[in-house]
Amino acid sequence: MQATTKVIALFLSFLFFSINTRAKKPSCGAHLLHAIINKKDPSWFSKQTAKRQAAQLNYQNKQGAFMKTTAQVTIPVVYHIVLNQNQINAIGGIAGIQKRIDSQMIVINRDYGRRNADSTTIPSAFKARYANTGIQFCLAHRKPDGTSTSGADIITLPNTTKKIEETNTSGQDLFYDAKFTNGAFNTWDPSQYLNIWVCNASLGNDTNGILGLTVPPYFPNTFGYNPNEVGVILNYRAWGKRSTGFEPYISGCDKGRTLSHELGHYFNLEHIWGDDNGACPGDAGYTDDGINDTPIQGAENYGCPTFPSVSCTASAPNGDMFMNYMDYSDDICLTMFTPGQVAVMQAEVASTGESYSLTQNNNVCYWPASVANTQGTTAIEIVPNPFSHQININYAEQPLAIRVLNTLGAIVFEINTTSIGTNTTLINTTPLTSGIYYLQVQFKEAMQTHKIIKE
């Protein structure tokens, strides 16, 4: 590990113990990186604020007015599951990992695509600011070497493995064990994949700790970070959406919104209250998040506040936008990004030096040809998609086989050849649980694979 990383690790170790005693509940670790940045370059935050202001002005000039839709880009995602067997068993084993991945991908794509059904709870005062980021996410199905992958890189640790924060005593980077095992990097090329590490990152207990931490793409060039650390760490008890009452989740963190929040940091958003310890305009140390259409806010919110919740008189009468993904409200209350936030994120994905390369590599989301890549010229139609209880597959050439695969590549449903019609086949999907699947249709000379979603 580089000397710079060791210095950062020692600083983080001290910082963690000094902050941990006053944390109100689990939160994201952005404040840790902020402390590092402030030590290296105190002017960085004002530079970033200016950058966000310029992005918003540029976006508004191009759009004429802030729009509800914008150009869409797709980001490939790989999940590195770094847990011991007891933790894997607690979330339901391999099947549980698949459910978490499926539900998490659905949540972030809906949240970032302005398709989350709970947007109906947004107060009318903020409804016009409910925006589509234009960013979508796909699960990687090709490894860096070109071979197939489910999109889940599962690394099973010994059951005796300590929690991440317990490695502090050796002076090791606080988050190093989450990302790298046996002293070797398990990062996939961060210019082609958005790496997400799911690990035992819980610090202290459920009222005191870290839910996730993001190292954004600009960190290596700007602050000397190792490029292989770029990505998101998620606490495994704040990952995906709860499907049963027995799964281990931290209270208020079971709807998949921790990743929606952390991805905001990845695309250069700050916390909506500006990380100024509750200051309002006129108070010493007051700062803002640099976004024009998020209200002035004193401190972070917890739980599920009642509208209006006014923390600074300057934002009266509507008060805090506590339902914004960049606040700390419970998952069930987080429902929106604003056009100003979209402008900043769009500027990041358009930047040739930072996140742009990810938008150019969504080919890694297709299965290799030897597994299930879309091939041939035979047109097929799948309706409806997303679906609930059944789907129809229409085609001109009769298939030899029709299968449904889960996101781990396992066949979960296969049509008997005698049931395949000459022009259309109806599939009863009632036995399938909600999530992402892949429909594989085998013809005589080619095979096609299409993503399907059960609501």
- Which residues participate in catalysis according to the annotation? 262
Whether residue 176 contacts residue 398, with contact meaning beta carbons closer than 8 Å, is answered with: no
Which of helix, strand or coil describes residue 197? strand
Residue 284 and residue 286: Cα distance in Å, rounded?
A: 6
Whether residue 302 contacts residue 320, with contact meaning beta carbons closer than 8 Å, is answered with: no
**Cα 146-148-153 angle, rounded to 5 deg:** 105
Residue 361 and residue 347: Cα distance in Å, rounded?
A: 18
Residue 205 and residue 329: Cα distance in Å, rounded?
A: 18
Residue 190 and residue 312: Cα distance in Å, rounded?
A: 40
Range list of H helices, 152-298: 176-179, 219-223, 257-266
Residue 347 and residue 453: Cα distance in Å, rounded?
A: 30
Residue 450 and residue 67: Cα distance in Å, rounded?
A: 30
State whether the Cα torsion 290-295-301-303 is positive or negative: negative
What tokens were used for 16? Answer: 């963690």
Residue 439 and residue 449: Cα distance in Å, rounded?
A: 5
CA distance between the termini of the chain: 45
What tokens were used for 240? Answer: 């995906």
What tokens were used for 59? Answer: 């976006």
What tokens were used for 251? Answer: 């209270």
Which of helix, strand or coil describes residue 332? helix
Which of helix, strand or coil describes residue 194? strand
Q: Transcribe 132-166 into DSSP letters.
A: ---EEEEE--B-TTS-B--SEEEEEEPTTPPPGGG
Beta bridge partners of 436: 453
Tell me the HSE value of 174 on the side-chain side, using a 13 A CA sphere: 23
